Amino acid sequence: MKEFAKHEKDLIRKYDDQGYTSDYRHDSGKLLDTKSDKAYTPKDIKSIKQHRYEGMSNPSDLSILYALEMEDGTKGTFLMAYGPSVDIDTAEFFKAIPKEKFEIQ
């Protein structure tokens, strides 16, 4: 996905149009699909695209949008803060995903 998007929500809409319709939340070392409550571990993630954002008015407002494909075919997005406001447990979850599963952006 090479198109430029100023805000995460613009790219989330584009991914949604491409079938990335699940939303995830991190809880107790797993990603949970917010609709089905199905739980995923780092090994369940097949492909990850990531897009980093810096706040237009506040450069310390940092986030990463992940587009995720799971081994069971489910696709969706996960938005995470990073930098000073990162949730350490969530960051550790994403660090546990094998690097070969990340697509270069």
Residue 44: give the domain boundaries.
Answer: 8-101
Quickly list H helices, the chain. Answer: 8-17, 88-95
pLDDT over threshold 60, residue 105: no
pLDDT digits (tens, 9 = 90+) for 48-96: 999 988 765 555 668 999 999 999 999 999 999 887 778 899 999 999 9
Domain count within the chain: 1
The structure tokens listed for 15 are: 């991914």
Residue 83 lies inside a defined structural domain of this protein:
yes
Q: Return mean pLDDT, the chain.
A: 87
Residue 78 lies inside a defined structural domain of this protein:
yes
How does residue 7 score in pLDDT terms, banded at 50, 70 and 90? Answer: confident
Residue 3 lies inside a defined structural domain of this protein:
no
pLDDT at 27: 95
The structure tokens listed for 21 are: 């319709």
